[in-house]
């Protein structure tokens, strides 16, 4: 590649003008010849800077309602010409095509139009043609030409130009070209995704702008990055850098806490709830959630769905925890939580989670719909002679929400809108149940009158038998086993109420 190249000519055609004035003034002060179009040309001239219209260069006006402005050999020839090629140079001279050393162009806001619910015709008009072509041409010829494809790079470009006395180095130009291809590929992916909503072409494309380095991966020797807009979801008010495991637990906590309308606190450990409770006040919810498993709660991720007040913060502060998530914090409550310098404190914003879920598997990616099913009392089918009481129905709904967000095989035992114990991630459903029963006993809970939720059906009646003998009074499960009737028969013989939902909640 050649050395530092002075910028002698530039083409500017942008949708967003914010921050462009400094660049225009700098280019003008360095004697750079500027070409421009439409609104950008008017903007430049209002700054008192002279510029040549692209129409005067090409001899053609903007046509087809602005669809064709820069698509002309006199524009693209000056961008794509190889400066070291004598043949290219002769053709530029023959056809009176000026060289273009710098291209500053952005793209019509296609994604914004889609997000705002614009009509299809309006969205189609936001598919940029000239801009994307200019970006690709300039990036391809980065040996000789520099390109800026986003207003986010205006300040960076200006800094480069000043550092290099109005020129750009080969490294500068390649870096800018890479950024430009990042912009163009993301743009094309967004357009494809929009069209493919109805066509369903089997092709996976996902492009995410924005990245947040994580403290480390699943283990300290693994590097990790989160690709996404974390700041759109949370404001980090305090604490150290977030790790990969923190992020997994934050995801699990957010998905779980969204299931509840009443004041609720959840304690997440390794993606599973080890404590959860709903109560009239947040402090009561915290106290009940922690009682479920005060041992596992150590080092966990805490999430609630109400402003975290001083009284609750004083109790939370007694526990070592990695992350606290709340929609808001009282000023004195936040001050208390900040007493632990490394504690990550997140204020959750209002945001939507993707409807689809993707996961790398083997040499590819598996994509599925998120499990958004939320079963209510209307979704319950009573299959036993004994019917759950109104209080038990509420506990069954509560337990079913928890088991939905637990690693399979999973069993959840609950009473009074409190997680009594959970058996999660077991290879046997019986083992999951026994683990939950043992855990409940170890923390002094009585299971008399408690309810049980299972993420999948019971292949045999052993689970309901074990649960009944431990004191469980009502059961919720999907149903669907060829042996369902055996479980129903045992419940009928022993006065246990059972309801089915028809919805399995495996989570791996």
CB atoms within 10 A of CB 193: 15
Q: What's the confidence (pLDDT) of residue 386?
A: 97
Catalytic hit among 126, 270, 338, 486: 270
Interval 293-306 mean pLDDT: 97
Enter the tokens of residue 228: 């996404």
Mean pLDDT of 148-169: 93
pLDDT digits over 222-266, tens only? 999 999 999 999 999 999 999 999 999 999 999 999 999 999 999
Quote the CA–CA distance of 143 and 149 in Å, as a whole number. Answer: 17
Strand partners, 102: 10, 146
Given a cut of 80, is residue 369 above it in pLDDT? yes
**pLDDT for position 206:** 86
Q: Residue 7: is its pLDDT beyond 60?
A: yes
In terms of C-beta density within 10 A (0-12 exposed, 13-18 middle, 19 or more buried), how is residue 59 classed?
A: exposed
Give the pLDDT of residue 503: 96
**pLDDT of amino acid 409:** 96
- What pLDDT shows up at residue 340? 95
44 pLDDT higher than 70: yes
Alpha carbon 54 to its chain's center: 41
- Please give the distance of CA 389 from its chain centroid, rounded to a whole number: 40
pLDDT tops 70 at residue 361: yes
Q: What is the mean pLDDT of residues 358-367?
A: 92
Q: E strand or H helix at 394, and its extent?
A: helix 390-404
Q: What's the pLDDT band for 31 if we cut at 50, 70, 90?
A: very high
Selecting among 140, 174, 340, 486, the annotated active-site residue is: 140
Residue 71's pLDDT is what?
Answer: 79
Q: Give 46-104 pLDDT, tens digit per residue.
A: 999 999 988 888 887 777 877 777 778 888 999 999 988 899 889 988 988 899 999 99
Q: Is the confidence at residue 470, as pLDDT, over 80?
A: yes
Q: What is d(CA 400, CA 14) in angstroms, rounded to the nearest whole number?
A: 53
Pinpoint the alpha helices (H) of 99-239: 110-115, 120-125, 130-140, 154-163, 170-199, 230-233
- Residue 498, classed as helix, strand or coil, is strand
Taking all residues of the chain, what is their mean pLDDT, rounded to a whole number?
94
Is the predicted pLDDT of residue 284 greater than 50, yes or no? yes
Active site residue 270: yes
CA-CA distance, 238 to 220, in Å (whole number)?
22
pLDDT score at 4: 85
Q: How far apart are the first and last CA of the chain?
A: 51
**How far apart are the C-alpha atoms of 214 and 226, rounded to whole Å?**
7
Whether 1 shows a pLDDT value over 70: the answer reads: no
For the stretch 383-441, pLDDT in tens is 999 999 999 999 999 999 999 999 999 999 999 999 999 999 999 999 999 999 999 99
Taking the C-alpha atoms of residue 174 and residue 190, their distance in angstroms, rounded to an integer, is 24
Query: Would the pLDDT of 2 be above 70?
Result: no
The first and second tokens of residue 449, run together, are: 């009158």
User: What's the rounded mean pLDDT across residues 492-507?
Assistant: 97
**What separation in angstroms does the CA of 444 have from each of 52, 377, 434, 439?**
82, 30, 16, 9
Element (H, E) at 492: helix 484-494
Question: What's the pTM value of the predicted model, to 2 decimals?
Answer: 0.86
Q: Tokens 């040309």 appear where?
A: 41
Exposure class string for 470-495: b at 16+ Cβ within 10 A, else e: bbbbbbbbbbebeebebbbebbbeee
pLDDT tens for 172-213 read 999 999 999 999 999 999 999 999 988 888 888 888 888 999
Known catalytic residue: 435?
no
- Choice among 53-62, 92-101, 110-119, 336-345 with the minimum mean pLDDT: 53-62
pLDDT at 341: 93
């Amino acid at each position: 590649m050649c050395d530092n190249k002075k910028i002698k000519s530039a083409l500017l055609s942008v949708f967003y003008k914010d921050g462009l004035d400094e660049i225009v003034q700098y280019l003008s002060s360095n004697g750079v010849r500027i070409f421009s179009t439409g609104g950008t040309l008017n903007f430049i001239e209002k700054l008192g800077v002279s510029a040549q219209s692209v129409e005067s260069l090409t001899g053609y006006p903007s046509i087809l309602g602005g669809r064709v402005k820069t698509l002309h050999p006199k524009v693209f020839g000056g961008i794509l010409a190889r400066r070291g090629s004598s043949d290219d140079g002769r053709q530029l001279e023959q056809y009176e095509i000026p060289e273009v050393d710098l291209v500053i162009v952005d793209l019509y806001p296609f994604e914004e139009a889609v997000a705002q619910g614009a009509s299809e015709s309006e969205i189609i008009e936001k598919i940029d043609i000239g801009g994307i072509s200019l970006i690709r041409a300039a990036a391809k010829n980065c040996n000789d030409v520099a390109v800026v494809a986003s207003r986010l790079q205006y300040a960076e470009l200006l800094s480069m130009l000043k550092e290099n006395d109005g020129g750009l180095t080969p490294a500068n130009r390649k870096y800018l070209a890479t950024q430009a291809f990042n912009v163009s590929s993301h743009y094309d992916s967004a357009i494809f995704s929009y069209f493919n909503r109805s066509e369903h072409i089997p092709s996976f494309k996902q492009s995410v702008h924005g990245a947040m380095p994580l403290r480390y991966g699943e283990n300290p020797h693994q590097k990790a990055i989160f690709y996404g807009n974390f700041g759109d979801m949370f404001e980090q008010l305090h604490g150290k850098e977030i790790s990969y495991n923190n992020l997994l637990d934050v995801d699990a906590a957010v998905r779980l806490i969204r299931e509840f309308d009443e004041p609720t606190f959840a304690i997440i450990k390794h993606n599973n709830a080890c404590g959860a409770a709903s109560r009239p006040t947040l402090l009561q919810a915290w106290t009940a959630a922690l009682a479920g498993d005060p041992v596992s709660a150590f080092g966990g991720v805490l999430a609630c769905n109400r402003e975290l007040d001083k009284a609750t913060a004083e109790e939370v502060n007694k526990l070592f925890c990695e992350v606290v998530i709340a929609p808001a914090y009282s000023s004195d409550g936040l001050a208390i939580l900040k007493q632990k310098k490394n504690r990550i404190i997140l204020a959750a914003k209002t945001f939507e989670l993707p409807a689809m879920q993707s996961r790398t598997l083997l040499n590819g990616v598996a994509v599925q719909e998120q499990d958004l099913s939320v079963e209510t009392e209307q979704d319950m089918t009573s299959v036993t002679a004994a019917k759950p009481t109104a209080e038990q129905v509420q506990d069954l709904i509560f337990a079913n929400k928890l088991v939905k967000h637990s690693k399979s095989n999973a069993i959840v035992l609950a009473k009074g809108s409190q997680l009594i114990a959970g058996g999660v991630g077991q290879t046997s459903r019986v083992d999951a149940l026994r683990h939950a029963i043992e855990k409940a006993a170890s923390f002094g809970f009585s299971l008399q009158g408690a309810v049980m939720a299972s993420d999948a059906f019971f292949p045999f009646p052993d689970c309901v038998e074990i649960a009944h003998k431990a004191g469980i009074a009502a059961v919720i499960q999907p149903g669907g086993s060829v042996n369902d009737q055996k479980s129903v028969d045992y419940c009928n013989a022993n006065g246990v109420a059972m309801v089915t939902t028809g919805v399995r909640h495996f989570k791996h």
